[in-house]
């Protein structure tokens, strides 16, 4: 949680420093830079505590222009020895852009794949009920047996057969009082 809060502060600083018209492009550049920097030889240099911030910044400069907002952010991250936060910063940046647009990310899990029409209908229903534009990611998990589970930031809506069975089992344990159903 502490790392998430730090990553969020860096992301907010970047979002606030970029004109709204450039925020999407900067987010894409940040995601690409972080992905490349946290793989292979570049990551071996960045994560090495013996290598100084100036040498690490040279690695970043090979990928991002010194005047670009992403370079300026990553330079601060490197100065503060927070290299491990880069992917989280990129994710928090995207989440903040979505929040400012009135959007919320949701992971929708079902036992069987949903048709495109059902997925769209579910998205519309969730958006209407939550009062925000829901951006869903659909996943299939056969262990759910049936129904739908929706994971939103800070809460889970569980309408699955597996969830109902688990709740029934817990209720029976409470009613029986022996701890076994």
Q: Residues of CATH 1.10.520 domain(s) within the chain? A: 2-98
Convert the pLDDT of each residue in 126-155 to its tens digit. Answer: 999 999 999 999 999 999 999 999 999 889
CA distance 150 to 132: 15
**pTM metric for this prediction:** 0.74
CATH architecture, domain defined by 2-98: Orthogonal Bundle (1.10)
Count other Cβ atoms within 10 Å, centred on residue 52. Answer: 11
What is the residue-level pLDDT of the chain in tens, covering all 181 positions?
A: 578 899 999 999 999 999 999 999 999 999 999 999 998 789 999 999 999 999 999 999 998 999 999 999 999 999 999 999 999 999 999 999 999 999 999 999 999 999 999 999 999 999 999 999 999 999 999 999 999 999 998 899 999 999 999 999 999 988 887 555 4
Closest CA to 42 of 62, 28, 26: 62
Nearest-angstrom CA–CA distance, 175 and 181: 9
Distance set, CA 139 to CA 107, 112, 136, 161 (Å): 7, 9, 10, 16
């Amino acid at each position: 949680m502490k790392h998430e809060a730090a990553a969020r502060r860096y992301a907010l600083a970047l979002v606030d420093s970029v004109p709204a018209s450039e925020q999407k492009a900067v987010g894409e550049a940040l995601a690409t830079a972080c992905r490349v920097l946290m793989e292979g030889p570049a990551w071996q240099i960045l994560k090495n505590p013996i290598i100084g911030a100036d040498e690490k910044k040279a690695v970043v400069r090979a990928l991002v222009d010194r005047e670009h907002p992403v370079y300026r952010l990553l330079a601060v991250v490197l100065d503060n020895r927070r290299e491990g936060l880069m992917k989280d910063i990129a994710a928090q940046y995207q989440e903040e852009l979505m929040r400012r647009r009135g959007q919320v990310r949701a992971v929708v899990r079902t036992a069987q794949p949903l048709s495109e029409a059902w997925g769209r209908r579910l998205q519309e229903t969730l958006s209407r009920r939550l009062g925000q534009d829901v951006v869903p990611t659909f996943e299939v998990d056969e262990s759910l047996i049936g129904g739908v589970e929706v994971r939103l930031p800070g809460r889970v809506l569980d309408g699955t057969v597996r969830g109902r069975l688990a709740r029934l089992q817990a209720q029976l344990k409470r009613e029986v009082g022996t701890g076994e159903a």
